[in-house]
Amino acid sequence: MLERMFNPKVVAVVGATPKEGKVGNILLKNLKDFDGKVYAVNPKYDEILGYKCYPSVEEIPDEVDLAIIAVPAEVVPSILESCGRKGVKNAVVITAGFKEAGNYALENKITEICRRYGINMVGPNCLGIINTHNNLNATFGRIMPPKGDIAFLSQSGAFILAVLDWAKANNVGFSKIVSLGNKAVLDEADFMRFLARDEDTNVIMLYLEGVSEGRKFMEVAREVSKVKPIVGVKSGRTEAGAKAASSHTGSLAGSFVAYRTAFRQSGVVEAESIEDLFDFSLILRKIRKIDGGIAIVTNSGGPGVIASDAVEEFGLNLAKFERRTIDRLREILPPIANVYNPVDVLGDADADRFGRALKIVEEDSNVGAIIAILTPTAQMDFIKASEFVLGIGKPIVTCFMGGESVRDAIELLKKHGIVNFLDPVKAVRSLNSVKRFELMKRKIEKEIESIEIEVDLVRVRDLIEKHRDKKVLTAESFEMLKAYGIPVPPYGIAKTAEEALKIADKIGYPVAMKVVSPDILHKTDVGCVKLNVGRERVVSTFYELVKRAEDYLKADVEGVMVQKMMPPGREVIVGMKRDPQFGPLIMFGMGGIYVEVFKDVSFRIAPIDRDEALDMIREVKAYSILKGVRGERPSDINALVDVIVRISKLSLDFDEIVEMDLNPVFVYEKGCCVVDAKVVLR
Amino acid sequence: MLISSVDEYSGKSGFIMALGSILKDRGYRVGYFKPLGIGRFIGDKLVDEDALAIAETLKIDDPIDVICPVMIDKPYIEFVISADPVKIVRDISKAYEDIRQDKDVVLVEGALHYELGRALGLCDVSVASMLDIDDLMIVKFTEDSVIDRLLSAKSQFGEKLKAAIFNQVSGYKRSYLESLAKSLLAKNGLDVLGMIPKDSLLAGVFVSEIASALGGRYLVEPEKDYIIEQLLVGAMSPQSALGYFRKTKNCAVITGGDRSDLIMLALEIPNVKCLILTGNLEPPSIVVGKAEEKGIPMIVVAEDTLTTVEKTQSIFRKARIRGKEKIERMRELIEMFVNLDKLIEYIGL
């Protein structure tokens, strides 16, 4: 639907002016190389900079495909109305003074107008858009980047200016550039969807402070990642960053974990810095897959070792060479050279020796990608070496380390899409981004398996209605879990000591007793949980518990929960927090009192199928404990998978549930049981 | 009927407003009388705020100086020394006679607590015998030993006190109180007519009350004078704040004006009904605009967070029942948890 926005035949600049330095003037100048027709709109002039000028969009005799609007904020609504009447379907609103200035009402007004007329609007409060392939520079920046195949979407306009400047200096090309601005109508997902089909674009690069609609973003990203890579930086990861992002673009500080999880589940390669953003984007233009291990070929031992370390640290594999490769390398290299991976052709090597070694390594079937590392020795002819590199068919990156002496060679490589790094660690990190993309893509391509499980929706609906006023459900949460087929121990709530005894008699001994109170969240810490209670102690324990609870902060006590004492199992935690952007974020981790210290947890955004749930469990370090260490019997992982998918379903079925905390869940050789639980309602 | 309380801030006024409106709806002509008013200077006028509010709510047209003939207008001891007990008794009796005319029932509100006025010979016990009316005791359930104070009141009122209503009863305690009512209290000639549960809405305070008590300045005016039930101090990371925001109900968030991250997040949570920004720091306009759009009041105060929290908490301790929403809620609670037929019989209607 955005085809015409990026490939317009006729463009109108509304607010065009002959006054030097004004945005309306720069916009017009930036369109001088544009391959289509340009009109100016301003009631005060008949002609500006040689372009015919009309008093309004409606009076332009042509059909207008794109209106670029730079008029005062309060006039923007009437201009958009006029565009709507004229049938203009695409608009870029450069003007600021909307949401970012606190004027939400004005922004809502233009959104409404655009919706009414079906206008695709970029902005407001943005730098504009660029399509290098038809010389459309609809921005008020002064630089047009070289043509290329990377598209860049950014929530910060000023950042785009820096990128354009850098791109020009470093000869990095772009296909499309979009400054998202306030995202009043079109957001990142809309552009991603368009760019997926854009033939000029091979990689989509994102700078985001927040997404507009988390679920939409994930859905679109999942589809787009199947076609081409998306590399994204999400800023505002820390408290300080979130504070800055909220002040800058009013972004919502959703949990960064949710962003990271959303990126992973929808195939977006996360970059942590601007440098990574470029490195990953540049490498993913050409390399999408690494079939096999990494081979390192170098003329310098030190950097070869550094690269080997990095390969291991990023979880990639150094390729194990075939016998034939080793023999062939021995034939061409001096006796003291290392013929194993990393291959050291030695400091006295010339480009020919290096090139021959490269070729032999490439032919090894265990090698998936090559890192070629060269330092500027007297013997090395870098141009010649680059020619050898260009002759390699397998994925290859280079580390031509140095300054003046390697410059021309690097330029030559760049021209052919080979990325060079000064630091071998960065080369490996970038190759790792390929691996990450490949793994995510493989997962996305497998559809999420729909899960048929029997649950009692009506029961949960009733519970929610009944306890709507309560916010934090403790005892009632067990009922909910039960309704969704999640195993909980038999229990009852006692309001008097006599009732406690009656319940315990029914359940059988020993029992666990806990105070039910919305005011006490960490019951164990204040002595409000008693385990292994026998019949003779039920009454006195009841009184002890309510006395402790009342002495503690004068807490409101609803009663005492009497629960069957479950045999100890391995402790795990399953939780859910509804992220304001992405919805239910499901958490799995090992339990116990050190949980806060180790933070050994994994996350997914619902829906989660059984495979994904199993992955979550495998992802935590303590998985090996669940599998059984030193001859211990393994725990029932399947039972945990079951709990996770049921929690995923419960959280998708009921929007009202904003948090769930199943802690601890005891897992046994056979089966598992939720021993304590808490549910928070909206 | 005289309505007294064992402790101060027990909910007498709210009870009278709600009961009065119930009785009015049932067709009774309801009067209201407060023999000993607690005056407070508002501007240059001395008023008993509760008495004024009740008279207004129940649409009682007797003049306020008849409804509330004696007002404590100086510190209590000074008042005791300077007062003329004979005149006071005369004034009260006369006003009560005026008010009684054409009424089926007069709800007489006791002093702050039933013993106040003893130094003047005017505590609730004396008022009950002076006007020859029965007493209903409102007992706020603050702690278990409140029952001793109730029994002590009973021994002072004697036959004039035969019924009590427990207020703010919470949790499992109800079942124990019920059995106490059947045994000990019944034996002592006290009939428990109801147990009204604790209700967070009633314990809440209005945004306007907070704003005026803090001397704050509205950056965003409230669309509606929300009732705030809880306070939350935002000094944590947005991630942990989210958990707290969700667990609260109708809460006010106190945080620094520079915490845009928390403010933007709070504005997404429907539980948050007011933002109090400390340190005289105004957030960027994109943030203020969001609050405007959502209609959530934003108050900037000059003080630091600790002082602001202390000041706000002190308003909560004296939360009053005002406004349609709270009175309606109180009515519902009375209808649900008080034996109205028995109460009406006790009043003698």
* CA trace torsion B70, B71, B77, B79 (10° rounding): -60
Strands B272-278, B298-300: pairing kind = parallel
Q: How far is residue A183's CA from residue A192's CA, in Å, rounded to a whole number?
A: 14
Look at A100 and B260 and tell me if their CB atoms are within 8 Å: no
Q: What is the pLDDT of residues A366-425, one digit of tens each?
A: 999 999 999 999 889 999 999 999 999 999 999 999 888 889 999 999 989 899 999 999
The confidence score (pLDDT) of residue A548 equals: 86
Nearest CA in chain A to B289: A102
Q: How does the average pLDDT of chain A come out, rounded?
A: 91
CATH number for the segment(s) A290-445: 3.40.50.261
Say if residues A204 and A228 touch (Cβ distance below 8 Å). yes
Q: What is the pLDDT of residues A60-117, one digit of tens each?
A: 999 999 999 999 999 999 999 999 999 999 999 999 999 999 899 999 999 999 999 9
Residue spans per domain, chain A: 290-445, 490-564, 570-681
Look at B261 and A243 and tell me if their CB atoms are within 8 Å: yes
- Min Cα distance A507 → chain B (Å) is 21
- Min Cα distance B267 → chain A (Å) is 9
Question: Among A69-83, A168-182, A238-252, B284-298, which stretch is predicted with the lowest mean pLDDT?
Answer: A238-252
The answer to whether domain A290-445 and domain A490-564 are alike in fold is no
Look at A255 and B261 and tell me if their CB atoms are within 8 Å: no
Say if residues B4 and B137 touch (Cβ distance below 8 Å). yes
Candidates A106, A111, A183, A247: best to mutate against B (most CBs of B within 10 A) is: A247
The confidence score (pLDDT) of residue A253 equals: 59
**3 state SS of A519:** coil
- % of residues, chain A, pLDDT over 70: 97
Q: How far is residue A430's CA from residue A681's CA, in Å, rounded to a whole number?
A: 43
Q: Which residues does B contribute to its contact with A (CB < 8 Å)?
A: 143, 170-176, 198, 237-239, 242-243, 246-249, 258-265, 268, 270, 283-290, 292-293
The confidence score (pLDDT) of residue A250 equals: 66
| The one-letter amino acid at A400 | F
Minimal Cβ distance to A580: which of B268, B283, B292: B268
Q: What is the pLDDT of residues B19-54, one digit of tens each?
A: 999 999 999 999 999 998 888 887 778 888 888 889
Strands A120-122, A128-131: pairing kind = unpaired
Question: Among A49-53, B10-14, B272-276, which stretch is predicted with the lowest mean pLDDT?
Answer: B10-14
Q: What is the pLDDT of residues A531-581, one digit of tens each?
A: 999 999 999 999 999 888 887 766 678 899 999 999 988 999 999 999 888
Look at A102 and B243 and tell me if their CB atoms are within 8 Å: no
B115-131: average pLDDT: 91
The confidence score (pLDDT) of residue A252 equals: 66
Q: How does the average pLDDT of chain B come out, rounded?
A: 90
Which residues contact residue A285 at a Cβ distance below 8 angstroms, ignoring those fewer than 6 apart?
A: A149, A150, A202, A203, A417
Look at B175 and A496 and tell me if their CB atoms are within 8 Å: yes
Chain A CB contacts of B249 below 8 Å: 469, 471
Fold adopted by A570-681: D-amino Acid Aminotransferase; Chain A, domain 1 (3.30.470)
Q: What is the pLDDT of residues B316-349, one digit of tens each?
A: 877 788 888 889 999 999 999 999 999 999 888 7
The confidence score (pLDDT) of residue B249 equals: 86
The confidence score (pLDDT) of residue A249 equals: 67
The confidence score (pLDDT) of residue A292 equals: 94
Which listed CATH number (3.20.20.80, 3.30.70.940, 3.40.1390.40, 3.30.1490.20) goes with A490-564? 3.30.1490.20
B107-135: average pLDDT: 92
Nearest CA in chain A to B142: A554
A162-180: average pLDDT: 90
B269-287: average pLDDT: 91
The confidence score (pLDDT) of residue A593 equals: 66
Q: How far is residue A288's CA from residue A267's CA, in Å, rounded to a whole number?
A: 13
- % of residues, chain B, pLDDT over 90: 48
Q: What is the pLDDT of residues A244-303, one digit of tens each?
A: 777 676 666 567 888 999 999 999 999 988 889 999 999 999 999 999 999 999 999 899
Burial of A393 (0-12, 13-18, 19+ CB in 10 A): exposed
B171-177: average pLDDT: 87
Chain B CB contacts of A246 below 8 Å: 260-261, 263-265, 287
- How many of the other CB atoms lie within 10 Å of CB of A371? 27
Measured CA distances, A458 to A484, A657, B118 (Å): 11, 15, 59
Q: Band the pLDDT of A328: cuts 50, 70, 90.
A: very high
Residue A512 is encoded by which pair of tokens? Answer: 């666990």
The stretches of A203-350 forming alpha helices (DSSP H) are 214-227, 239-249, 256-265, 274-286, 301-313, 323-332
Q: How many pairs of residues across A and B have Cβ atoms under 8 Å apart?
A: 109
Q: What is the pLDDT of residues B185-218, one digit of tens each?
A: 999 999 999 999 988 888 889 999 899 888 889 9
Put simply, whether A680 touches B (Cβ < 8 Å) is yes
The confidence score (pLDDT) of residue B213 equals: 87
Q: Band the pLDDT of A598: cuts 50, 70, 90.
A: confident
Say if residues A262 and A605 touch (Cβ distance below 8 Å). yes
The confidence score (pLDDT) of residue A236 equals: 75
Chain A CB contacts of B175 below 8 Å: 495-496
Q: Band the pLDDT of B247: cuts 50, 70, 90.
A: confident
Query: Domains plus CATH for chain B?
Result: 2-199+320-347 (3.40.50.300), 205-317 (3.40.1390.20)
Residue B184 carries which DSSP code? I
B249-278: average pLDDT: 91
At residue A597, does pLDDT exceed 80? Answer: no
Chain B CB contacts of A556 below 8 Å: 170-171, 198
For tokens 């109090």, the residue is B276
Q: What is the pLDDT of residues A601-647, one digit of tens each?
A: 899 999 999 999 999 999 998 898 888 888 888 999 999 999 999 99
- Min Cα distance B142 → chain A (Å) is 9
Query: Cα(first)–Cα(last) distance of chain A, in Å?
Result: 38
Please list, residue by residue across B253-286, b when 16 or more beta carbons sit within 10 angstroms of its beta carbon and e when fewer do.
bbbbbbbbbbbbbbbbbebbbbbbbbeeeebbbb
Q: Band the pLDDT of A355: cuts 50, 70, 90.
A: very high
Say if residues A77 and A103 touch (Cβ distance below 8 Å). no
Q: How far is residue A177's CA from residue A145's CA, in Å, rounded to a whole number?
A: 9
Angle made by CA atoms B158, B159, B162, in degrees to the nearest 5: 100
At residue A525, does pLDDT exceed 80? Answer: no
At residue B258, does pLDDT exceed 90? Answer: no
Nearest CA in chain A to B248: A471
**3 state SS of A499:** helix
- Min Cα distance B307 → chain A (Å) is 22
- % of residues, chain A, pLDDT over 90: 73
Minimal Cβ distance to A556: which of B170, B247, B248: B170
The confidence score (pLDDT) of residue B341 equals: 92
DSSP codes of every residue in A592-652: STTHHHH--EEEEESP--HHHHHHHHHHSTTHHHHH-STTPPPP-HHHHHHHHHHHHHHHH
A201-217: average pLDDT: 92
- How many of the other CB atoms lie within 10 Å of CB of A250? 24
